[in-house]
Structure 1
Amino acid sequence: MSDAEWAVVRDAMPVPAWLEGRGGRPEGYCHRQMVDAVRYLVAGGITWRAMPADFPEWDRVYAFFRRWRDTGLVAEFHDRLRDRVRQAADRDPEPTAGIIDAQSVKAAASVPAASRGFDGAKKVNGRKRHIMVDTLGLLLMVMVTAASATDRDAGQALLARLRERHWRIKLVWADGGYTGRLVDLARDALRIALTVVKRTDDTMGFVALPKRWLVERTFAWLMRSRRLAHDYEGRTDTSEAMI
């Protein structure tokens, strides 16, 4: 990160417990180096043990990432930065509308059989990423399942989580994979209007559908990072933290 970027990131970082007198061991490393190291790993698609010598030892970086993953600090840090981006775009930090979609990706041999599956529609053996984004394409929620999970079943769980964390959202756009009982459940139980945007029967080739194209652009952003081009993680919560 540049100094200007770090000035913004530093203010958004969660405060360690030991600095607030809540116990814990004082940290003896630079947060800027740790964040840069994790970003390097995700962008470059390297293994933890291949961490360059310019960064701290790989096991210290991994311990930092693992601790932030397990305590929810990865999501907290991300959400703070997302809120700042929304404010910079003259938007309220809390969105009122979102777009939901899923993406199947191949899984490496390191992914256990218990958390992988086969997506018959996409012909992909691996995992599926279910994401919710706002109207800027910024991530609101992410959930990783086996690729065999249906969009409707995973969508129900994702919408329930969304309702707990982003209570102001009233409208969600989706594709045809979310039709059926999920629309009624979202309306009756969650008070969310799930609107399905379908392709017309005479549509040929690629067409950017209203609202739905925003989530497709987010998937394209994710695929720029080589670590996210496939799923290499043994645990689904690690995959979610990487995303």
Structure 2
Amino acid sequence: MSHCGVPAPSASSYGVSPCDCLAHRLGNAADQPDRTRRYGSDLTDTQWAIVRPLLPVPAWLNGQGGRPEGYCHRQLLDAVRYLVAEGVRWAGLPADFPKWRAVYRFFRRRRDHDCIKEFYGRLRKMLRELAGKKEEPTAAIIDSQSVKADATVAAATRGYDAGKKINGRKRHIAVDTLGLLLTVLVTAASVKDNDAGRDLLEHLRADHHRITLLRADGGYTGRLVAFAHAVLALALTVVKRSDDTKGFVVLPRRWVVERSFSHLIRARRLARDYETRIDSAEAMAWWAAGIPATRRLARSGRPAPRRVKRSAA
């Protein structure tokens, strides 16, 4: 997104804002106070420099109507990231963020137009380029994760997973060989992996045409393998754990998607499903995946440094 010819931030009763977001430069955000960044989920200056050019251009700037935003884009991003990372309610956002209703409108617009999915896709392409990979993957790993649902989740969109003994919803994801998110599908926990797998693979094929190889666990055996091959031209390989194996064993490529789930579940909003709508639950997963992605990009694609355990005194 080019910023050539964009005027400087406008002055306000709070002085000249140092923020260079479009809402401050061309919108109505100049009258809003700046905030001190104090939370671990806040974008650092390095992360913001990476993120800002990737943000979609607002409709009002393209002459499509609407009113220029009155809140800083960076503050709105920080607010949603805080909600996802800390698991608070919308109305429970700290007072130094914009009003929670404005933050929710920001989240809702990006959910309804798949902007967060597109935004994460741009982050994924940058990370793959840093890793020496092509922009579009040719292989993927799929798996599912059942989580308990809060009372806010309607009975029509929840179910009981007899295998995990969980009453709630199930997240089905596809990741590339680096563990970066490709597709998210949320269903009731009672939906079997084979049944949800058809929709998951169809979404994956529609969004990523170059994928030809897939790996999955034993829950995706049977007719899904034939469907993937005959209808979608995908070679689905089921990686099973041996019946004679005892204890923890790292299975080929299966550990990649398991690691991705562990990264997602660190976002407290995803530890339990609170979303009334299915598309909101899927959007939360994309937001949660974007937090470690921006941090990794700020480290030039390097993984997070390992913590050194302190020896007991």
Class of the TM-score when normalised by the shorter of the 2 chains: over 0.9
Query: Shift of the alpha carbon at 1:23?
Result: 2.6
1:210 aligns with 2:252: yes
Amino acid in structure 2 at the alignment position of 1:192: L
- Counterpart residue number, 1:39: 81
- Counterpart residue number, 1:178: 220
Q: Which runs of 5+ in 1 are unaligned?
A: none
Shifted more, 138-147 versus 23-32: the winner is 23-32
1:130 aligns with 2:172: yes
- TM alignment of 1:184-195, pairs within 5 A: 184-195=226-237
Query: Shift of the alpha carbon at 1:237?
Result: 0.5
1:98 aligns with 2:140: yes
Higher relative contact order (CA 8 A, sep 6+): 1
Output the CA distance in 2 between the equivalents of 1:85 and 1:15.
22
1:23 aligns with 2:65: yes
Matched residue of 1:99: which SS?
A: strand
Deviation per CA, 1:84-115: give whole Å up to 9, x if none: 11111111110000000000000011110000
Query: Structure 1 residue aligned with 2:106, among 64, 82, 87?
Result: 64
Output the CA distance in 2 between the equivalents of 1:26 and 1:226.
32
Q: Which runs of 5+ in 2 are unaligned?
A: 1-42, 286-313
- Counterpart residue number, 1:79: 121
Deviation per CA, 1:155-204: give whole Å up to 9, x if none: 10010111111000000100011011110110011000000000111111
Query: Structure 2 residue aligned with 1:165, among 199, 207, 218?
Result: 207
Amino acid in structure 1 at the alignment position of 2:222: G
Matched residue of 1:127: which SS?
A: strand
Tell me the percent identity: 64
Amino acid in structure 2 at the alignment position of 1:37: A
- Counterpart residue number, 1:120: 162
Which TM-score applies when normalising by structure 2? 0.77
Output the CA distance in 1 between the equivalents of 2:270 and 2:97.
21
Amino acid in structure 1 at the alignment position of 2:279: D
Output the CA distance in 2 between the equivalents of 1:25 and 1:193.
48
Output the CA distance in 2 between the equivalents of 1:114 and 1:105.
16
Query: Structure 1 residue aligned with 2:241, among 164, 188, 199?
Result: 199
Query: Shift of the alpha carbon at 1:148?
Result: 0.2
Matched residue of 1:129: which SS?
A: strand
Output the CA distance in 2 between the equivalents of 1:23 and 1:80.
26
Output the CA distance in 2 between the equivalents of 1:161 and 1:174.
16
Query: Shift of the alpha carbon at 1:25?
Result: 2.4
- TM alignment of 1:218-233, pairs within 5 A: 218-233=260-275
1:10 aligns with 2:52: yes
- Counterpart residue number, 1:89: 131
Count the aligned residue pairs: 243
Larger radius of gyration: 2
